[in-house]
């Protein structure tokens, strides 16, 4: 008896492949833009007063995007899935658009407001938009999370984050 030989599945470009390529492109774009967008801390007597480069964490994130995208490309070529985004309800599209809009507003608010107030406003806006059930907890998280993150990055890691301009 002659057994049929199993052929490996044919590789084909699909939605997942496009998503993987876009992830790589996004990571590369971040790597290109980070040196122009990450503010360097002030020099005191010609020396930086922080141990870590402020671009370290953004660069790690960008490299992570590139690596995940590169690892996802070969896996995506083997997938036989249909594009589930085609079945997304209109509310899902509205949520994504609103989230992107809030993140853009957050990035624009960072310079005039500083890290902590703009982060508090973002958390409040997103919590209210997505109907966070416990309003008191939303207030606690909106206040505590940015303060804790600011302290960890500025004090522990020595990474410069935008200060509140009107507080000096």
C-alpha span between 25 and 17 (Å, rounded): 12
Instruction: Give the model's pLDDT for residue 66.
Output: 97
47, β-bridge pairs: 44
DSSP strands (E only) in the chain? 43-44, 47-48
Band of residue 167 on the pLDDT scale cut at 50, 70, 90: low
User: What is this structure's pTM?
Assistant: 0.64
**Residue range 72-91, pLDDT digits in tens:** 999 988 887 776 767 778 78
Residue of higher predicted confidence among 134 and 53: 134
Report residue 116 as tokens.
Answer: 């902590």
Distance (Å, rounded) from C-alpha 127 to C-alpha 130? 5
Residue pair 91/137 in contact by the 8 Å Cβ criterion: no
Interval 7-58: pLDDT, tens: 555 567 788 888 999 999 999 999 999 888 777 766 666 666 666 777 788 8
Question: Could you tell me which of 132, 129, 135, 161 has the C-alpha nearest to residue 147?
Answer: 161
What average pLDDT is seen over the chain? 85
């Amino acid at each position: 008896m002659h057994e049929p030989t199993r052929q490996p599945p044919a590789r084909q470009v699909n939605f997942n492949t496009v998503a993987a390529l876009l992830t790589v492109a996004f990571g590369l774009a971040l790597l290109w833009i980070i040196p122009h967008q990450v503010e360097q801390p002030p020099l005191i007597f010609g020396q930086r007063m922080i141990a870590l480069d402020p671009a370290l964490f953004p660069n790690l994130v960008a490299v992570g995007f590139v690596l995940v995208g590169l690892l996802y490309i070969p896996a995506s070529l083997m997938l036989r899935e249909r594009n589930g985004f085609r079945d997304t309800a209109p509310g899902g599209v509205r949520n994504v658009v609103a989230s992107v809009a809030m993140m853009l507003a957050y990035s624009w608010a960072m310079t005039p407001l500083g890290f902590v107030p703009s982060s508090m406003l973002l958390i409040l806006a997103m919590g209210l938009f997505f109907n966070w059930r416990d309003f008191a907890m939303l207030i606690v998280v909106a206040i505590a999370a940015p303060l804790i993150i600011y302290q960890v990055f500025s004090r522990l890691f020595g990474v410069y984050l935008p200060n509140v301009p009107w507080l000096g």
